[in-house]
Amino acid sequence: MAIKRCQASIDVVEAGKIRIRNVFRNGLPVYMSFSGGKDSLCLAQLVMNLIQAGEINPSQLIVQFIDEEAIFPCIEEKVKEWRRKFILVGAKFEWFCLEVKHYNCFNELSNDESFVCWDRYKKDVWVRQPLAFSIRNHPLLHPRVDTYQDFLPRVSAGGITITGIRTAESIQRLRNVAIMLGAGKSMSKRQQVFPIYDWTNNDVWLYLLKEKIDIPEIYLFLWQSGTRKGQLRVSQFFSIDTARSLVKMNEYYPDLMERIIRREPNTYLAALYWDSEMFGRNSVARKQNERGNAEKDYKAALLELFSDMDGNFQTRHKWYIADRYRRFFLSVSTIVDNKDCRAIYEGLISGDPKLRTLRALYQRIYGKYAEKAKKKEGMANG
Protein backbone atom coordinates (compact mmCIF):
# COMPACT_ATOMS: atom_id res chain seq x y z
CA MET A 1 0.00 0.00 0.00
CA ALA A 2 1.38 3.41 -1.01
CA ILE A 3 1.45 6.01 1.78
CA LYS A 4 1.13 9.66 0.83
CA ARG A 5 2.42 12.35 3.19
CA CYS A 6 0.85 15.81 3.10
CA GLN A 7 2.27 19.07 4.46
CA ALA A 8 -0.09 20.81 6.90
CA SER A 9 -0.49 24.53 7.48
CA ILE A 10 -0.27 24.14 11.28
CA ASP A 11 2.30 22.54 13.57
CA VAL A 12 1.84 19.12 15.17
CA VAL A 13 1.06 20.54 18.61
CA GLU A 14 -1.87 22.58 17.32
CA ALA A 15 -3.05 19.62 15.23
CA GLY A 16 -2.99 17.45 18.36
CA LYS A 17 -5.09 19.97 20.28
CA ILE A 18 -7.68 20.14 17.47
CA ARG A 19 -8.02 16.34 17.44
CA ILE A 20 -8.49 16.21 21.21
CA ARG A 21 -11.09 19.00 21.18
CA ASN A 22 -13.01 17.19 18.44
CA VAL A 23 -13.06 13.97 20.48
CA PHE A 24 -14.49 15.68 23.56
CA ARG A 25 -17.12 17.54 21.50
CA ASN A 26 -18.89 14.23 20.89
CA GLY A 27 -20.05 14.28 24.51
CA LEU A 28 -19.08 10.62 24.96
CA PRO A 29 -16.75 9.24 27.64
CA VAL A 30 -13.12 9.66 26.59
CA TYR A 31 -10.69 6.92 27.63
CA MET A 32 -7.02 7.89 27.59
CA SER A 33 -4.38 5.15 27.66
CA PHE A 34 -1.48 6.25 29.85
CA SER A 35 1.84 4.47 30.40
CA GLY A 36 4.11 7.09 31.98
CA GLY A 37 6.41 6.98 28.95
CA LYS A 38 7.48 9.96 26.87
CA ASP A 39 4.68 9.75 24.28
CA SER A 40 1.87 9.36 26.80
CA LEU A 41 3.33 12.24 28.82
CA CYS A 42 3.02 14.47 25.76
CA LEU A 43 -0.59 13.41 25.23
CA ALA A 44 -1.35 13.84 28.94
CA GLN A 45 0.09 17.38 28.96
CA LEU A 46 -1.93 18.34 25.88
CA VAL A 47 -5.11 17.10 27.58
CA MET A 48 -4.23 18.76 30.89
CA ASN A 49 -3.58 22.11 29.21
CA LEU A 50 -6.95 21.98 27.45
CA ILE A 51 -8.71 21.08 30.73
CA GLN A 52 -7.06 23.98 32.56
CA ALA A 53 -7.96 26.34 29.70
CA GLY A 54 -11.62 25.28 30.03
CA GLU A 55 -11.72 23.91 26.49
CA ILE A 56 -12.65 20.30 27.33
CA ASN A 57 -14.71 18.72 30.12
CA PRO A 58 -12.62 16.69 32.60
CA SER A 59 -15.69 14.76 33.82
CA GLN A 60 -15.74 12.97 30.44
CA LEU A 61 -12.17 11.72 30.91
CA ILE A 62 -11.20 8.27 32.21
CA VAL A 63 -7.43 7.73 32.28
CA GLN A 64 -6.39 4.07 32.14
CA PHE A 65 -3.06 2.65 33.24
CA ILE A 66 -2.25 -1.04 32.83
CA ASP A 67 0.31 -1.87 35.51
CA GLU A 68 2.32 -4.75 34.05
CA GLU A 69 4.08 -5.54 37.37
CA ALA A 70 7.58 -5.60 35.85
CA ILE A 71 8.12 -1.85 35.43
CA PHE A 72 10.85 0.54 36.53
CA PRO A 73 10.36 2.29 39.92
CA CYS A 74 10.51 5.74 38.32
CA ILE A 75 7.66 4.83 35.95
CA GLU A 76 5.49 3.87 38.92
CA GLU A 77 6.29 7.18 40.64
CA LYS A 78 5.57 9.18 37.48
CA VAL A 79 2.20 7.49 36.97
CA LYS A 80 1.27 8.13 40.62
CA GLU A 81 2.15 11.79 40.14
CA TRP A 82 -0.08 12.13 37.07
CA ARG A 83 -2.86 10.17 38.76
CA ARG A 84 -2.98 12.87 41.43
CA LYS A 85 -3.01 15.60 38.78
CA PHE A 86 -5.92 14.13 36.85
CA ILE A 87 -7.99 13.36 39.95
CA LEU A 88 -7.49 16.95 41.19
CA VAL A 89 -8.93 18.42 37.97
CA GLY A 90 -11.99 16.13 38.10
CA ALA A 91 -11.01 13.25 35.83
CA LYS A 92 -11.23 9.56 36.70
CA PHE A 93 -8.07 7.43 36.86
CA GLU A 94 -8.20 3.63 36.61
CA TRP A 95 -5.01 1.83 37.72
CA PHE A 96 -5.34 -1.81 36.65
CA CYS A 97 -3.25 -4.60 38.20
CA LEU A 98 -4.77 -7.53 36.35
CA GLU A 99 -3.81 -11.04 35.31
CA VAL A 100 -3.28 -10.27 31.64
CA LYS A 101 -0.94 -12.09 29.29
CA HIS A 102 2.20 -10.41 28.05
CA TYR A 103 4.80 -11.70 25.62
CA ASN A 104 8.08 -12.65 27.27
CA CYS A 105 11.08 -12.58 24.93
CA PHE A 106 13.12 -14.64 27.43
CA ASN A 107 10.80 -17.64 27.38
CA GLU A 108 11.87 -19.09 24.04
CA LEU A 109 13.84 -21.92 25.65
CA SER A 110 10.93 -23.06 27.80
CA ASN A 111 8.40 -23.01 24.94
CA ASP A 112 6.25 -20.58 26.91
CA GLU A 113 5.12 -17.54 24.99
CA SER A 114 3.21 -15.67 27.67
CA PHE A 115 4.04 -13.89 30.88
CA VAL A 116 1.03 -13.45 33.18
CA CYS A 117 1.20 -10.15 35.00
CA TRP A 118 0.32 -10.37 38.70
CA ASP A 119 0.17 -14.16 38.43
CA ARG A 120 -1.81 -15.38 41.47
CA TYR A 121 0.37 -18.49 41.63
CA LYS A 122 3.60 -16.49 41.88
CA LYS A 123 2.82 -13.93 44.55
CA ASP A 124 6.00 -14.78 46.41
CA VAL A 125 8.18 -13.69 43.48
CA TRP A 126 6.26 -10.67 42.14
CA VAL A 127 8.65 -7.94 40.99
CA ARG A 128 6.56 -5.38 42.91
CA GLN A 129 3.48 -5.35 45.10
CA PRO A 130 0.22 -3.90 43.73
CA LEU A 131 -0.81 -0.54 45.15
CA ALA A 132 -3.72 -0.37 47.58
CA PHE A 133 -5.97 1.64 45.24
CA SER A 134 -5.34 -0.52 42.15
CA ILE A 135 -8.13 -2.45 40.42
CA ARG A 136 -7.38 -6.18 40.81
CA ASN A 137 -10.27 -7.69 38.84
CA HIS A 138 -12.98 -6.69 36.38
CA PRO A 139 -16.20 -8.37 35.16
CA LEU A 140 -15.14 -7.91 31.52
CA LEU A 141 -11.74 -9.54 32.02
CA HIS A 142 -10.88 -13.12 31.09
CA PRO A 143 -8.05 -13.62 33.62
CA ARG A 144 -4.87 -15.27 32.34
CA VAL A 145 -6.34 -15.41 28.82
CA ASP A 146 -6.69 -11.77 27.75
CA THR A 147 -3.92 -9.44 26.78
CA TYR A 148 -4.56 -5.82 27.68
CA GLN A 149 -5.25 -5.20 23.97
CA ASP A 150 -8.14 -7.68 24.30
CA PHE A 151 -9.44 -6.27 27.57
CA LEU A 152 -9.35 -2.49 27.15
CA PRO A 153 -11.61 -2.26 24.05
CA ARG A 154 -14.36 -4.06 25.98
CA VAL A 155 -14.13 -1.58 28.86
CA SER A 156 -14.10 1.47 26.59
CA ALA A 157 -16.74 0.26 24.11
CA GLY A 158 -19.17 3.00 25.13
CA GLY A 159 -16.77 5.86 24.42
CA ILE A 160 -13.76 6.99 22.40
CA THR A 161 -10.17 6.05 23.22
CA ILE A 162 -7.20 8.35 22.68
CA THR A 163 -3.67 6.96 22.75
CA GLY A 164 -0.16 8.29 22.24
CA ILE A 165 0.69 6.01 19.31
CA ARG A 166 3.09 7.61 16.83
CA THR A 167 3.84 6.42 13.30
CA ALA A 168 7.48 7.53 13.61
CA GLU A 169 8.09 4.57 15.96
CA SER A 170 8.19 2.06 13.08
CA ILE A 171 7.30 1.58 9.41
CA GLN A 172 4.82 -1.14 10.43
CA ARG A 173 2.98 1.30 12.70
CA LEU A 174 2.91 3.91 9.93
CA ARG A 175 1.38 1.39 7.56
CA ASN A 176 -1.17 0.12 10.10
CA VAL A 177 -2.32 3.61 11.08
CA ALA A 178 -2.57 4.59 7.41
CA ILE A 179 -4.84 1.59 6.83
CA MET A 180 -6.96 2.27 9.95
CA LEU A 181 -7.40 5.94 9.07
CA GLY A 182 -7.67 5.48 5.32
CA ALA A 183 -10.23 7.16 3.06
CA GLY A 184 -10.38 10.29 5.21
CA LYS A 185 -11.39 8.50 8.43
CA SER A 186 -10.42 10.10 11.72
CA MET A 187 -11.13 7.09 13.93
CA SER A 188 -10.28 3.39 13.84
CA LYS A 189 -12.89 0.61 13.98
CA ARG A 190 -12.19 0.26 17.69
CA GLN A 191 -13.15 3.91 18.20
CA GLN A 192 -9.55 4.98 18.69
CA VAL A 193 -8.07 8.37 17.91
CA PHE A 194 -4.32 9.05 17.78
CA PRO A 195 -3.86 12.78 18.48
CA ILE A 196 -0.05 12.75 18.16
CA TYR A 197 0.31 10.07 15.48
CA ASP A 198 2.30 12.43 13.21
CA TRP A 199 4.82 13.61 15.83
CA THR A 200 8.48 12.79 15.25
CA ASN A 201 10.95 11.91 18.01
CA ASN A 202 12.24 15.48 17.86
CA ASP A 203 8.69 16.83 18.25
CA VAL A 204 8.26 14.73 21.39
CA TRP A 205 11.49 15.79 23.07
CA LEU A 206 11.01 19.45 22.09
CA TYR A 207 7.49 19.50 23.54
CA LEU A 208 8.67 17.90 26.78
CA LEU A 209 11.36 20.58 27.02
CA LYS A 210 9.11 23.54 26.22
CA GLU A 211 6.40 22.41 28.63
CA LYS A 212 8.98 21.66 31.34
CA ILE A 213 7.58 18.14 31.75
CA ASP A 214 9.53 16.04 34.24
CA ILE A 215 10.36 12.70 32.60
CA PRO A 216 11.09 9.36 34.31
CA GLU A 217 14.79 9.10 35.14
CA ILE A 218 15.08 5.83 33.23
CA TYR A 219 15.36 7.85 30.01
CA LEU A 220 18.38 9.68 31.40
CA PHE A 221 19.96 6.42 32.52
CA LEU A 222 19.42 4.88 29.09
CA TRP A 223 20.96 7.92 27.41
CA GLN A 224 23.95 7.84 29.77
CA SER A 225 24.47 4.15 29.00
CA GLY A 226 24.76 4.85 25.26
CA THR A 227 21.24 4.14 24.01
CA ARG A 228 20.50 6.10 20.84
CA LYS A 229 17.72 8.70 20.81
CA GLY A 230 15.58 6.63 18.47
CA GLN A 231 15.86 3.61 20.80
CA LEU A 232 14.78 5.36 24.00
CA ARG A 233 11.77 3.15 24.60
CA VAL A 234 10.52 1.97 27.97
CA SER A 235 7.98 -0.78 28.51
CA GLN A 236 7.46 -3.95 30.55
CA PHE A 237 10.82 -5.63 31.37
CA PHE A 238 10.26 -8.70 29.24
CA SER A 239 9.36 -6.84 26.05
CA ILE A 240 12.04 -6.88 23.39
CA ASP A 241 12.31 -3.06 23.51
CA THR A 242 13.17 -2.95 27.22
CA ALA A 243 14.99 -6.28 27.57
CA ARG A 244 18.08 -4.92 25.86
CA SER A 245 18.53 -2.35 28.62
CA LEU A 246 18.10 -4.58 31.69
CA VAL A 247 21.76 -5.48 32.11
CA LYS A 248 22.84 -1.84 31.75
CA MET A 249 20.22 -0.66 34.23
CA ASN A 250 21.56 -2.87 37.02
CA GLU A 251 24.12 -0.12 37.65
CA TYR A 252 21.33 2.34 38.43
CA TYR A 253 18.96 -0.09 40.18
CA PRO A 254 21.31 -2.47 42.08
CA ASP A 255 18.66 -5.00 43.16
CA LEU A 256 16.70 -4.93 39.91
CA MET A 257 18.18 -7.95 38.12
CA GLU A 258 17.95 -10.06 41.28
CA ARG A 259 14.21 -9.41 41.56
CA ILE A 260 13.63 -9.93 37.85
CA ILE A 261 15.54 -13.21 37.69
CA ARG A 262 13.63 -14.46 40.72
CA ARG A 263 10.38 -13.71 38.84
CA GLU A 264 11.58 -14.97 35.46
CA PRO A 265 14.69 -17.20 35.68
CA ASN A 266 15.41 -17.11 31.94
CA THR A 267 16.22 -13.41 32.20
CA TYR A 268 19.86 -14.38 32.80
CA LEU A 269 19.96 -14.96 29.03
CA ALA A 270 20.04 -11.19 28.62
CA ALA A 271 23.42 -11.03 30.30
CA LEU A 272 24.87 -14.09 28.57
CA TYR A 273 23.50 -14.02 25.04
CA TRP A 274 22.07 -10.59 24.31
CA ASP A 275 24.64 -9.86 21.61
CA SER A 276 23.83 -12.99 19.60
CA GLU A 277 21.46 -14.28 16.96
CA MET A 278 19.16 -15.48 19.77
CA PHE A 279 17.92 -11.90 20.01
CA GLY A 280 18.56 -10.88 16.41
CA ARG A 281 21.18 -8.33 17.41
CA ASN A 282 23.50 -6.56 14.96
CA SER A 283 25.65 -4.75 17.49
CA VAL A 284 29.39 -4.06 17.39
CA ALA A 285 29.83 -6.51 20.27
CA ARG A 286 28.18 -9.30 18.30
CA LYS A 287 30.35 -8.60 15.24
CA GLN A 288 33.47 -8.79 17.41
CA ASN A 289 32.29 -12.04 19.02
CA GLU A 290 31.69 -13.65 15.63
CA ARG A 291 34.79 -12.27 13.92
CA GLY A 292 36.80 -15.04 12.25
CA ASN A 293 33.88 -17.46 12.11
CA ALA A 294 32.85 -18.82 8.72
CA GLU A 295 29.73 -17.15 7.35
CA LYS A 296 26.67 -19.17 8.24
CA ASP A 297 24.43 -20.47 5.43
CA TYR A 298 21.14 -19.04 6.66
CA LYS A 299 19.09 -20.45 3.78
CA ALA A 300 20.21 -23.94 4.78
CA ALA A 301 19.48 -23.12 8.44
CA LEU A 302 15.94 -22.07 7.54
CA LEU A 303 15.36 -25.20 5.48
CA GLU A 304 16.53 -27.28 8.44
CA LEU A 305 14.12 -25.52 10.80
CA PHE A 306 11.18 -25.86 8.41
CA SER A 307 11.92 -29.53 7.70
CA ASP A 308 10.72 -30.46 11.21
CA MET A 309 7.99 -28.00 12.11
CA ASP A 310 6.49 -30.11 14.90
CA GLY A 311 9.85 -30.80 16.52
CA ASN A 312 11.23 -27.26 16.32
CA PHE A 313 8.02 -25.34 17.15
CA GLN A 314 6.29 -27.21 19.94
CA THR A 315 3.45 -24.89 20.88
CA ARG A 316 0.48 -24.02 18.70
CA HIS A 317 1.34 -20.33 18.58
CA LYS A 318 5.00 -20.95 17.73
CA TRP A 319 3.95 -23.36 14.99
CA TYR A 320 1.55 -20.73 13.59
CA ILE A 321 4.29 -18.05 13.53
CA ALA A 322 6.77 -20.47 11.96
CA ASP A 323 4.23 -21.44 9.30
CA ARG A 324 3.78 -17.78 8.36
CA TYR A 325 7.56 -17.44 8.10
CA ARG A 326 7.79 -20.63 6.06
CA ARG A 327 5.18 -19.45 3.57
CA PHE A 328 6.95 -16.11 3.25
CA PHE A 329 10.36 -17.77 2.80
CA LEU A 330 9.06 -20.06 0.07
CA SER A 331 7.54 -17.08 -1.77
CA VAL A 332 10.85 -15.15 -1.78
CA SER A 333 13.37 -17.99 -1.87
CA THR A 334 14.39 -17.25 -5.46
CA ILE A 335 15.14 -13.55 -4.86
CA VAL A 336 16.78 -13.48 -1.40
CA ASP A 337 20.49 -13.46 -0.59
CA ASN A 338 22.19 -14.76 2.55
CA LYS A 339 21.75 -11.40 4.29
CA ASP A 340 17.98 -11.55 3.72
CA CYS A 341 17.88 -15.17 4.90
CA ARG A 342 19.74 -14.18 8.04
CA ALA A 343 17.10 -11.52 8.79
CA ILE A 344 14.31 -14.06 8.27
CA TYR A 345 16.09 -16.65 10.44
CA GLU A 346 16.77 -14.25 13.29
CA GLY A 347 13.25 -12.84 13.19
CA LEU A 348 11.92 -16.37 13.54
CA ILE A 349 14.15 -17.68 16.34
CA SER A 350 14.12 -14.49 18.43
CA GLY A 351 10.32 -14.52 18.60
CA ASP A 352 7.84 -12.45 16.60
CA PRO A 353 4.50 -12.88 18.40
CA LYS A 354 2.75 -10.01 16.62
CA LEU A 355 4.48 -10.64 13.26
CA ARG A 356 5.88 -7.11 13.22
CA THR A 357 9.29 -8.30 12.09
CA LEU A 358 7.72 -10.41 9.35
CA ARG A 359 5.77 -7.43 7.99
CA ALA A 360 8.96 -5.37 7.96
CA LEU A 361 10.80 -8.17 6.14
CA TYR A 362 8.01 -8.36 3.58
CA GLN A 363 8.37 -4.66 2.79
CA ARG A 364 12.16 -4.77 2.83
CA ILE A 365 12.64 -7.78 0.57
CA TYR A 366 9.89 -7.09 -1.94
CA GLY A 367 10.83 -3.40 -1.94
CA LYS A 368 14.44 -4.26 -2.74
CA TYR A 369 13.32 -6.63 -5.49
CA ALA A 370 11.04 -3.98 -7.03
CA GLU A 371 13.85 -1.40 -6.94
CA LYS A 372 16.26 -3.77 -8.71
CA ALA A 373 13.61 -4.58 -11.32
CA LYS A 374 13.07 -0.87 -12.03
CA LYS A 375 16.79 -0.28 -12.44
CA LYS A 376 17.12 -3.29 -14.74
CA GLU A 377 14.18 -2.09 -16.83
CA GLY A 378 15.66 1.41 -17.00
CA MET A 379 19.00 0.08 -18.20
CA ALA A 380 17.26 -2.06 -20.84
CA ASN A 381 15.26 0.90 -22.11
CA GLY A 382 18.28 3.19 -21.98
Q: What is the pLDDT of residue 289?
A: 47
Confidence of residue 110 (pLDDT cuts 50, 70, 90): very low
Where in the chain are the domains?
Answer: 12-210, 298-381
Grouping H, G, I as helix, E, B as strand and the rest as coil, residue 124 is: helix
Mean per-residue pLDDT, 37-66: 97
Q: Rg for the chain (alpha carbons), in Å? A: 22
Confidence of residue 326 (pLDDT cuts 50, 70, 90): very high
Confidence of residue 373 (pLDDT cuts 50, 70, 90): confident
Neighbours of 291 (CB within 10 A): 7
Q: What is the pLDDT of residue 126?
A: 94
For residues 1-31, one letter each, b for 16 or more C-beta atoms within 10 angstroms of the residue's C-beta and e for the rest, the string is eeeeeeeeeeebbebbbebbeebbeeeeebb
Confidence of residue 102 (pLDDT cuts 50, 70, 90): confident
How would DSSP label each residue in 213-226?
A: PPPPHHHHHHHHTT
CATH entry 3.40.190.10 includes domain 12-210: no
For residues 193-215, one letter each, b for 16 or more C-beta atoms within 10 angstroms of the residue's C-beta and e for the rest, the string is bbbbbbbeeebbbebbeeeeeeb
By percentage, how much of the chain surpasses pLDDT 70? 75
Report which DSSP code applies to 207: H
Q: What is the pLDDT of residue 180?
A: 55
**Mean pLDDT of the chain, nearest integer:** 82
CA torsion sign for 347, 152, 61, 133 is: negative
Residue 163 scores a pLDDT above 90: yes
Half-sphere exposure of 171 (CA within 13 A, CB side): 12
Q: What does the pLDDT look like over 260-302, one tens digit per residue?
A: 888 887 776 655 555 555 555 454 444 454 455 567 899 999 9
Q: Cβ distance 17 to 46 under 8 Å?
A: yes
Instruction: Report pTM.
Output: 0.72
